[in-house]
């Protein structure tokens, strides 16, 4: 039941169509796309035009992680471009419930994201508006950072909260995921693992995806 979502942030930006197209053969379940605006996080990546351009290159669902200010304004553009899952940071949105509802109204799956320092209570009262919650395991902005050791406890606490309020909730984790930290996250209750560096720097990406899955 564990899903693996390789992050294109660590793919070859000059050949993203090719790299996105390879993910299904490698055994990936989702394509994770990191949208950064240079304000919410100290880096800039790409916008809806890139999602639209990549859509024909894979049949896998596109998991769009919005690291942007005012994410509500970007829900429709990314959905129209082909996003299947849209996640927005609780820290970036004054009206998180409204935005999550807006995502669902477009027919996409909705998710709230928490930075490592943001407590779970920031999403407790919107858990029923979420198909998934994404817990950042690094401070967002860059690939290849080290997993923060306090995250497994946070994942387990979210699992307990979700078992009470929304048992179907998926828990996605993102940042510093390798075979070792993947195991900690799976044991704590994560169901979707994002991995950029681990997959794209591997000489055997399919084997790496199997390892992350715990197969």
| 63 near Zn ion, judged by CB under 5 A | no
Looking at 111, 132, 174, 177, which residue binds Zn ion (CB under 5 A)?
174
Closest CA to 117 of 94, 97, 96, 138: 138
Q: Is 186 helix (H, G, I), strand (E, B) or coil?
A: helix
> Quick count: other Cβ atoms within 10 Å of Cβ 73?
10
Buried residues in 10-44 as b, exposed as e (16+ CB within 10 A): bbeeeebeebbbbbeebbbbbbbbbbbbeebbeee
| 186 near ligand DX5, judged by CB under 6 A | no
Q: Which is nearer to ligand DX5, 4 or 9 (CB)?
A: 9
> Which residues are catalytic, by number?
34, 174
Q: Which stretch binds ligand DX5 (CB under 6 A): 20-28, 72-80, 149-157, 175-183?
A: 175-183
Residues 55-84 that bind ligand DX5 (CB under 6 A): 65
Q: Which stretch binds Zn ion (CB under 5 A): 91-99, 123-131, 162-170, 172-180?
A: 172-180
| 86 near ligand DX5, judged by CB under 6 A | no
Q: How far is the CB of 164 from Zn ion (least distance, A)?
A: 27
| 152 near ligand DX5, judged by CB under 6 A | no
Q: How far is the CB of 156 from ligand DX5 (least distance, A)?
A: 21
Q: How far is the CB of 34 from ligand DX5 (least distance, A)?
A: 5
What is the rounded distance in angstroms from the CA atom of residue 66 to the CA atom of residue 78?
Answer: 9
Query: Which of Zn ion, ligand DX5, none lies near 176, with the C-beta cut-off 5 to 8 A by kind?
Result: ligand DX5
> First and final CA of the chain: distance in angstroms?
11
What is the rounded distance in angstroms from the CA atom of residue 147 to the CA atom of residue 9?
Answer: 17
Stretch (H or E) spanning 160 = helix 151-165
> Which residues would be at the binding site for Zn ion (CB under 5 A)?
34, 65, 174
């Amino acid at each position: 039941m564990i899903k693996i979502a390789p992050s294109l942030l660590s793919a070859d930006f000059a050949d993203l169509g090719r790299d996105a197209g390879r993910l299904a053969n490698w055994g990936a379940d989702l394509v994770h796309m990191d949208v950064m605006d240079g304000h919410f996080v100290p880096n800039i990546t790409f916008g809806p035009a890139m999602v639209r351009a990549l859509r024909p290159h894979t049949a896998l669902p596109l998991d769009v992680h919005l690291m942007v200010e005012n994410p509500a304004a970007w829900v429709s553009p990314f959905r129209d471009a082909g996003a299947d899952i849209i996640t927005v940071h609780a820290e970036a949105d004054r009206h998180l419930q409204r935005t999550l509802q807006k995502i669902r109204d477009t027919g996409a799956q909705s998710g709230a994201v928490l930075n490592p320092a943001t407590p779970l209570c920031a999403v407790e009262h919107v858990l029923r508006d979420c198909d998934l919650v994404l817990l950042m395991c690094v401070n967002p902005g860059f690939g290849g950072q080290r997993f923060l050791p306090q995250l497994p406890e946070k994942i387990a606490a979210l699992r307990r909260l979700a078992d009470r309020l929304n048992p179907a909730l998926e828990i996605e984790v993102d940042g510093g995921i390798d075979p070792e930290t993947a195991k900690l996250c799976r044991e704590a209750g994560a169901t979707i693992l994002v991995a950029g560096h681990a997959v794209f720097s591997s000489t055997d990406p399919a084997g790496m995806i199997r390892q992350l899955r715990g197969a």
